[in-house]
Amino acid sequence: MDVFGSFALILAFVCAAYAIVGGIAAILTRHPLLIKSARQAGIATCALIFLATGSLVYLFFSDNFSVAYVVAHSNRDLATFYKIAALWSGQEGSLLFWSCLLAVYVFSVLITYRNKNGELMPYVGVVMASVQIFFLTLNNFVASPFKVLGTPAANGTFDLVARADGNGLTPLLQYPEMVIHPPNLYSGYTGFTIPFAFALAALLARYPGEKWIHLTRKWTMIAWCFQTSGILLGAHWAYAVLGWGGYWGWDPVENASLLPWLTGTAFLHSVIMQEKRGMMKVWNVWLVFITFMLCILGTMLTRSGVVSSVHAFAQSSIGTWFVGFLTVIFLVCFSAYLYNRDYLKSENQLDSVVSRESSFLFNNLILLVSCVAVLSGTLFPVFSEWISGSRISVGAPFFNKVNIPIGLLLLFLTGVGPLLAWRKTSLDSLKRNFGWPAITGVFAGAIAFAFGFREFYALVCLILCVFVATTIGREFYRGARVIRSRSGASLVASAVDLTMRNTRRYGGYIVHVGMVLIFIGLAGTAFNRDAQKEMQLGSTLQIGPYKLLLQSYDQKPEKNYTAERMIVEVLQDNKPLMMLYPERRFFQTSEQSGTMVAIYSTLREDLYVVYAGQSPETQLPVVHAYLNPLVKFIWLGGAVVVLGTLVALLPNRRAVLVLSGAQQPAVVQPLTHALTPSVTLREGHD
């Protein structure tokens, strides 16, 4: 099966090469057979990558310990569930997995548009195949996952060697989220290849109008959705497994995943400017280019050892390949832009500082500033070494100082932006749309202040969260009320109907609600507490309203590890609440240990209990407990963001009329059958 996998990868490389060469020939000659053959070569490339990935998975499931990658990342006792995760747990497998997920996207695009957009698709096919061939080069010639173990024989041949068992999967990865977090994140990284391919293809082909924007919207949202859930699942994994009480440490690899998310988010907003007003065309094209380059940079940072990271794979020379690839991408994008920049001429100008356009502009500016700050902080050791010869890194204070105010500004714009009118917003409109939300936000802040809430950023965050939630709530309420008056359905049913009539707009609002929930969770960090104590049987540790009582302490042998476990009873007001079982696992095969945190999670706070090992002097178990308020809002918010994105991906139920209290008559003609005098109805998409 290893030979089969290697052979499939080589064939995939050949097919991708043909997809590029044949695609270029098809573009030049417009010959239908060439166009078809290049597309089919692209489809064959994907099919062969699927076969190669399938064969590596089979090697894991069949415990084939003659393959070096299987030996390094699996063992016979490893649970089946984790044999899947072993696929991406090392350099070679994760690069093949990258190729595989990219192939899923490429395959979908080639099939979806096989009979559509004939002028554009050959260009798209060439760009996608070019990205594929880079990764196939790595898969075949730089980091092959199908290398076999062997020893040179006396007659000059090579004897295959098979081990009796493998080394096992590293303990930190033996956690359910590691089976879903990397595929999500990689699906985000790879997914941004599609908007990149369409943007570059449209620029090269001088494809008319904003059609490429419409074509790529759903692909961008799918990639963004995966990137968002991947980041949050990674944060949850760090929270639940590493036993440090936190979920985000501004580690270079974490930052690498955030960078394309920031620019991708900026693109999802600024693209509306191009659709509605024909503006920001250059900006949008470069946002897509930069997002894709940041995806490649992120993939490189994890693998090259350029910057030290908690999550990185071992250092290797693979970084040179990525630097070369990034250079080629930049040169191609820059040349295409220089050659065709007249194609990107803006059709309109900004009219007013208080307008929908300016809110998008500032939203983009803020996201870009955040991206530059995170990128420069992440690569600071590299830059400082180039400039001064000293390798200097910056830590959490640097990232927090810049990104907390940026986050709050973004939150403010989340509430304000969608309700501002295009071109110019009148004072009356501002009062009508933001009067009550602003009063509600300030009122909530005043109550919190009166109850002793004194953390500045947390207080501002609370005010803004209430403000944004109120603006969104009012939007749903106003729209649902109109539908209810027509249909007689309940308010909730009307709100659902409203959402399904304009999924893009109301799906977007749901995403914003998710972001509000995430901000509430982040604000809770300001009130984290922790306590540590050596515990005798029957002794207690008080943290916040909880008392932890050590009831027992035991060892539990499992198939793949032995667990040292504390049995802790949690009491609240001296009444038993629940039992927690924090443990440390010792994996015999890899001779490594891992922490399993026990968490009692409520909406109000998380009680996070870590078994921190035994005291060196007394040999007593040490418990480290954290009380982290509002953390659950982050995971809830993530789920709401994903839900909102899925809603926004759905087609509208039917042509609709939607409410827009902010819309100015100068821009959109009011319809004659407006239902209430205070609102204007207009068609559609937002």
Partner 1 sequence: MQKQAKFGLGIGVIVLSMAFLAWLGYGESKTYYHTIAELQTLKGADLTHRMRLGGTVQAGTIRRLSGRVDFVLQGEGKTLPISYVGSDPLPDTFVDNSQALVEGRPAPDGRFVAEHVQAKCASKYEAAPGGNGGATSSSTQPSTM
Site for partner 1 in 127-166 (CB under 8 A): 143
Closest contact distance (angstroms) between CB of 179 and partner 1 is: 16
Give the closest residue to 279 by CA, choosing from 351, 217, 219, 336.
Answer: 351
Q: Which of 45, 55, 74, 91 binds partner 1 (CB under 8 A)?
A: 91
Closest contact distance (angstroms) between CB of 34 and partner 1 is: 38
Q: Cβ distance 224 to 188 under 8 Å?
A: yes
CA dist., res. 468 & res. 489, Å (int) = 27
Stretch that binds partner 1, among 34-42, 449-457, 525-533, 641-649 (CB under 8 A): 525-533
Q: Does 613 bind partner 1 (CB under 8 A)?
A: yes
Q: Does 683 bind partner 1 (CB under 8 A)?
A: no
Closest contact distance (angstroms) between CB of 576 and partner 1 is: 27
Q: Cβ distance 5 to 60 under 8 Å?
A: no
Q: Which of 373, 495, 550, 598 binds partner 1 (CB under 8 A)?
A: 373
Q: Does 411 bind partner 1 (CB under 8 A)?
A: no
Residue among 145 and 479 whose Cβ is closer to partner 1: 145
Q: Which of 342, 347, 428, 617 binds partner 1 (CB under 8 A)?
A: 617
Which 8-state DSSP code applies to residue 670?
A: P
Residue among 201 and 550 whose Cβ is closer to partner 1: 550
Residue among 535 and 610 whose Cβ is closer to partner 1: 610
Q: Does 37 bind partner 1 (CB under 8 A)?
A: no
Residue among 382 and 491 whose Cβ is closer to partner 1: 382
Which 8-state DSSP code applies to residue 526?
A: G
Residue among 216 and 425 whose Cβ is closer to partner 1: 425
Find where tokens 């939300």 sit.
437
Closest contact distance (angstroms) between CB of 373 and partner 1 is: 6
CB atoms near residue 354 (< 10 Å): 16
Q: Does 528 bind partner 1 (CB under 8 A)?
A: yes
Q: Which of 66, 137, 340, 352 binds partner 1 (CB under 8 A)?
A: 352
Site residues for partner 1, 384-403, by CB under 8 A, read 390-402
Which 8-state DSSP code applies to residue 139?
A: I
CB atoms near residue 62 (< 10 Å): 12
Closest contact distance (angstroms) between CB of 545 and partner 1 is: 21
- Please give the angle made by the CA atoms of 307, 312 and 314, to the nearest 5 degrees: 90
Q: Counting every residue, how long is the chain?
A: 686
Q: Which of 351, 554, 558, 683 binds partner 1 (CB under 8 A)?
A: 351
Site residues for partner 1, 61-80, by CB under 8 A, read 71-72
Taking the chain, what is the end-to-end CA distance rounded to the nearest angstrom? 51
Per-residue binding letters, 286-325, with partner 1 (x by CB under 8 A): -------------------x--xxxxxxxxxxx-------
DSSP-derived secondary structure for 204-263: HHT--TTHHHHHHHHHHHHHHHHHHHHHHHHHHHHHHHS-SS-S----HHHHHHHHHHHH
Q: Which of 53, 291, 525, 663 binds partner 1 (CB under 8 A)?
A: 525
Q: Does 595 bind partner 1 (CB under 8 A)?
A: yes
What SS3 class is residue 616?
coil
**Side-chain-side CA neighbours of residue 30 (13 Å):** 4
Site residues for partner 1, 439-498, by CB under 8 A, read none
Q: Does 172 bind partner 1 (CB under 8 A)?
A: yes
Give the closest residue to 546 by CA, choosing from 593, 599, 484.
Answer: 599
Q: Does 637 bind partner 1 (CB under 8 A)?
A: no
CA dist., res. 5 & res. 53, Å (int) = 7
Closest contact distance (angstroms) between CB of 547 and partner 1 is: 22
Over 178-189, what HEC string results?
HHHHHHHHHHHH
Q: Does 249 bind partner 1 (CB under 8 A)?
A: yes
The rounded radius of gyration (Å) of the Cα atoms in the chain is 28
Q: Cβ distance 42 to 114 under 8 Å?
A: no
**Side-chain-side CA neighbours of residue 631 (13 Å):** 25
